[in-house]
Chain A
Amino acid sequence: MTYIVWFDEYRDEHLPIVGGKNRSLGEMTLAGLPVPPGFALTTHAYRQMRDQDADARHEVQDLLARIDLDDAAGLQEIAAKVRQRIEDIPMPAAVDEAIREAYGRLGEVCGDGAIPVAVRSSATAEDLIDASFAGLQDTYLWISGEDDVVAHVKRCWSSCFTDRAIAYRHEMGHDHDRLLMSVAIQKMIRPKAAGVAFTLNPTDGDRSQVAIDAAWGFGESVVSGEVTPDNFLVDKVIYEIVSRAISPKTIEYRLSDDGRSVEKAAVPDDRVTAPSLTDDEVKAVAWLARQAERHYGAPQDVEWAIDMDLPDNENAVLLQSRPETVWSRKPRKPVAKGRGDLMDGIVSTLLNPVHTRSKASTTQEQGN
């Protein structure tokens, strides 16, 4: 039984057992993109846990059968009980051994026996939970030591049973019992700054640009909208920074002093209005996003970070890449529109000089 798939060993046939997030990390790793190293714990591990304790499985099924979506308090109570019951199931010996062995190997690769990792759920196609819906609640950052990793794998599994997730599956008519989940375990990074990037300009759909939102520390502050990030627009062909807007960034998520958890803290005054990225870092992030876009052949929405543990010039890492959905779904407007004829084009250029035209058309695009 395959419990572990390393990112750099990912193959298409692994998709059903590793889920979307692990596929993305595997593909990016194989494409040569700088993704922090790690491995997938496959759905076989979850299945093993679920199937080895028939009593627990029935208890969970009974609890879920009592759900009434109109009773929010009741739903929450049941969800809590389900999660507790799942976490109480002992980790199957073979899975336990596989996790510890893989974690040990990751530690060897990175030269740190107690290498801190992020433990995240990786949804498989069957449960249909959109990655963005799964969101933050099942991500555990800065976990180190094999016992803790094993414990957080269980918490990750149990997090499929938050009240929101249960309600969602209920509404969609999915069977809770057929749910399978994979987990991603990835070397933790220590981000100086992090954020998201789109491989087009989200305000006008310009495909020649990469738009970057960046803030100090972990990217959570950007994703959650708790800070107004610095914003950069970079041309993806000549890597020129076309515009920049530096915002006051008052809070950041950073590693706690004991190095074992991530905490939200006020940003020291001298960094509040300072740009969170150097120009070189902005260009490196744009390059990363562009490589992801090339790899997938479609505009992407990526999460990235600048890792303090890596040397300058190779410290930009890609954490996640998924298809951009807003502009990519709109039909693209052709440019030429019969203006292909050279002389007609020149006459029209002389009659409507570009400096007066471009502003009008941009405004129009925004209005759409």
Chain B
Amino acid sequence: MAEGRFPSPFEIETPAGAEGWEELYTYSLPFSEDRRDYEDSVFWFQDGIHWPEVLTPWDATFFEYAIASLSQYNTRHYLIPPALGIDYRVLNGYAYLTPVPVTDPAEIEARVPKFMERAGYYFQNWDRLYENWRHKIDDLADQLRALDFSPLPEVEPMEVITEGRGEGSGMRLQENYRTLLNLALRLWQYHFEFLNLGYAAYLDFFGFCKEAFPNIPDLAIAKMVAGVEVDLFVPDQKLKDLAQAAIDLGVADAFAQDSAAAVIETLGSSDAGRQWLARWDEAKDPWFNFSNGSGFYHTDEVWLEHLDIPFGYLRNYIDKIRQGVDLSRPIEELRAERDRVVNEYMELLPTDEDKEAFQGKLGLARVVFPYVENHNFWVEHYSHAVIWRKMRELGETFVKEGFFADRDDVFFLKRDEINEALWDMYSAWAVGTEARGPRYWPRELERRKGILDTLRAWSPPPALGEPPEVVTEPFTIMLWGITSDSIGMWLGAGEEGGDGGLHGFAASPGVAEGPARVILTADQIGEVQEGEILVAPLTAPSWAPIFNKIKATVTDIGGMMSHAAIVCREYGLPAVTGTAFGTKQIETGQRIRVDGSTGTVTVLD
């Protein structure tokens, strides 16, 4: 690892024009003099996998809910022996994390039996508990959908009187918003009910393989564990089926039109077209509640709200099918290949005891892995899409009352400020007078947007403080792909420009050469052309359809198990993830060579 340290969080200056950014977040989120001794003594890394961009005040809600829930399970539920939670801060609008280890060996020892009892229960009852989890998520999404954020009525309807309800619509609005926050926090509690345990079981199998076969590629281990049918791939599969259906029904020509609205209008005018639309309706819920980003930002575009995205993919798939490309996934072949890989490694083990241990660990890894693979769709994509939709309904109500110019302004308030704004709205409605909001918020929102724009132009250092000699915290490695090597890479690349070569994780094997296409935000993905190599800060699972066009992928952020790496492997494309500086060092149009087997990217021009 390279020598050196990253800047202290207290050395980082606020960019001119962003003064006062701290007030846009919960008071406990920024670094502060109050906890300086502690905050300056640990190593922080920017979580670019989940929060690569500046957080708006409301979007910080998911950041806080997610990391606190993750932590709670380690610390208070399962008592992961060497790990408490992950501490989190926001600096100049960007998310930073630090794992909190248990350092006292006696305390670690004391946590072991409790961990074994608690985690053991989940491992033993995994399938039943996971099935129950799916019901809990469906139930939670139903509760979210039922929340009514419609505007306050001029006069309460008569049944409020006749049913003797004794309460009004202002109550409903405020209560429903509090319920939404409760459900969002509950969603994140559910998210981590299984995840860390799932990763732990996976890591155990991973470690066994690495010990038996020191040179085994990470990919081989992932291949043995990965499911053949995974929820995360269903949306893409549904699109492929719909593309085929459009051809079979003879309505494929309609998709030549650029806008989804025009396509839908054309389809609506024929029987065959209406048949296709019926199939679309069948597939869309839940599967097209799929975000084109990580799902953590209100600006991430969900397919159902941005139909041009899935319809663009449909057009591409229709073209491919017409060119004779086979888009089907050979499920049986994939299964057979997985069995072959497992059997061959097993045969190479030295003893029968080893073979038995290998099978046991692989068995458990496969039991837990569906959760690891699928939770992302159900939480970050499906449930978040419902929450964003509900928040926009609430935003509409604020717009109607003159508080905001745009419904998305709702995401520029802190989550608890919305309670205050609702109170203001309710109170004026109740009293029959003028709220302060319509004069207060437009001015305040403009100020906040100015600050956030300034912060967006600032580039956050990958880490803060002094790096540990060796990264030992298991979840930092597994969830964020951060190792002593990657920290060394950040430090090295910061010092010099490098040798024209970038290094990262060998996330998906193969070698490809071609022109680069640098994509900084999700809404640029339409620019990607056939045969290009995608270079992005990170990729989202919902970008799967463009993987049919590109030759390889390079990301700044992410490890072997990042959602992006999983999709790249599924599409058999070379990928190098976690290069840290890919989007900064590569320009669109430059010819690059991506070696997904060794994790290197070379600029050829």
Contacts and interface: CB of A to CB of B under 8 A. Distances in A.
Of A201, A238, A333, A348, chain B has the most CB atoms within 10 Å of the CB of A238
A354 B475 CA distance: 11
Given A342-B361, A351-B82, A334 B211 contact: no
A241 interface: yes
Interface string B254-269: 0000000000000000
B260 to A, nearest CB: 40
Given A351-B108, A353-B473, A361-B211, A335 B116 contact: no
Interface string B578-605: 0000000000000000000110000000
A279 B511 contact: yes
Given A342-B364, A343-B123, A357-B207, A242 B350 contact: no
A350 B83 contact: yes
A358 interface: yes
Contact of A238 (B83, B210, B219, B361): B219
B57 interface: no
B354 A336 contact: yes
B203 A244 contact: no
B100 interface: no
Contacts of A233: 215
B81 A342 contact: no
A332 B351 CA distance: 9
A278 to B, nearest CB: 10
A217 to B, nearest CB: 25
Place the interface of chain B in its size category. 35 or more
Contact of B348 (A207, A241, A243, A346): A207
Main secondary structure of the interface of A (DSSP, over half): mixed
B219 A240 contact: yes
B223 A242 contact: no
A74 interface: no
Interface string B173-210: 00000000000000000000000000011011011101
A342 B215 contact: no
A24 interface: no
Contacts of A240: 217, 219-220, 509, 597
A126 interface: no
A333 B353 CA distance: 12
A347 B81 contact: yes
Contacts of A201: 214-215
Contact of B119 (A339, A346, A351, A354): A346
Given A244-B598, A335-B349, A343 B212 contact: no
Contact of A343 (B120, B207, B344, B348): B120
A72 interface: no
B528 interface: no
A342 B362 CA distance: 10
Interface in A330-366: 332-336, 339-340, 342-343, 345-358, 361-362, 365
B203 to A, nearest CB: 5
Interface in B359-394: 360-361, 364
Contact of B201 (A238, A346, A353): A346
B130 interface: no
B215 A334 contact: no
A43 interface: no
B597 A335 contact: no
B200 A346 contact: yes
A331 to B, nearest CB: 9
A279 B595 CA distance: 11
Interface in B108-126: 108, 112, 115-116, 119-120, 123
Given A342-B364, A347-B116, A361 B214 contact: yes
A179 to B, nearest CB: 41
A340 B204 CA distance: 11
A345 B361 contact: yes
Contact of A354 (B207, B361, B597): B207
B351 A336 contact: yes
Contacts of A345: 204, 208, 357, 361
A235 B220 contact: yes
B471 interface: yes
User: Counting chain B CB atoms within 10 Å of each CB, which of A241, A346, A354 scores highest?
Assistant: A346
Interface residues on chain A, size class: 35 or more
B207 A349 contact: yes
Contacts of B353: 334, 336, 340
Contacts of B81: 347, 350-351
A315 to B, nearest CB: 20
A123 B37 CA distance: 77
A209 interface: yes
A335 B349 CA distance: 8
Nearest to B343: A237
B477 A208 contact: no
Contacts of B357: 335-336, 339-340, 345
A74 B509 CA distance: 61
B214 A237 contact: no
Contacts of B212: 208, 335
Nearest to B509: A240
A25 B203 CA distance: 44
B16 interface: no
Interface in B76-95: 80-83
A44 to B, nearest CB: 41
A347 to B, nearest CB: 6
Contacts of B354: 334-336
Contact of B220 (A237, A241, A333, A352): A237
A206 interface: yes
- The residue in B215, B344, B354, B361 that gathers the most chain A C-beta atoms within 10 A of its C-beta is B215
A59 interface: no
B205 to A, nearest CB: 9
B474 A350 contact: yes
A238 B207 CA distance: 18
A58 B511 CA distance: 66
Contact of A333 (B223, B345, B350, B477): B350
A346 B353 CA distance: 17
Contacts of A336: 208, 351, 353-354, 356-357
Nearest to B117: A343
A175 interface: no
Contacts of A241: 509, 597-598
Contacts of A208: 212-213, 215-216, 345, 348
A343 B119 contact: yes
B215 A354 contact: no
Interface string A277-299: 00100000000000000000000
Nearest to A345: B204
A226 interface: no
Contacts of B294: none
A77 interface: no
B562 to A, nearest CB: 16
Contacts of A343: 116, 119-120, 123
A65 to B, nearest CB: 52
B94 to A, nearest CB: 26
Contacts of A238: 217, 219-220, 223, 341, 509
B208 A242 contact: no
Given A334-B354, A336-B351, A345-B204, A350 B82 contact: yes
A358 B470 CA distance: 13
Interface string B321-359: 000000000000000000001001100111101101100
Contacts of A236: 344
Contacts of B509: 238, 240-241
Interface in A232-272: 233, 235-238, 240-244
Given A342-B361, A351-B81, A353-B477, 8 more contacts: A206-B216, A208-B213, A241-B597, A241-B598, A243-B215, A335-B212, A350-B80, A353-B471
10 contacts: A204-B214, A238-B509, A241-B597, A342-B201, A350-B82, A351-B108, A353-B471, A354-B206, A355-B471, A357-B211
The 10 closest A-B pairs by CB, nearest first: A332-B350, A336-B357, A208-B213, A354-B207, A349-B204, A340-B357, A335-B212, A237-B344, A207-B348, A335-B354
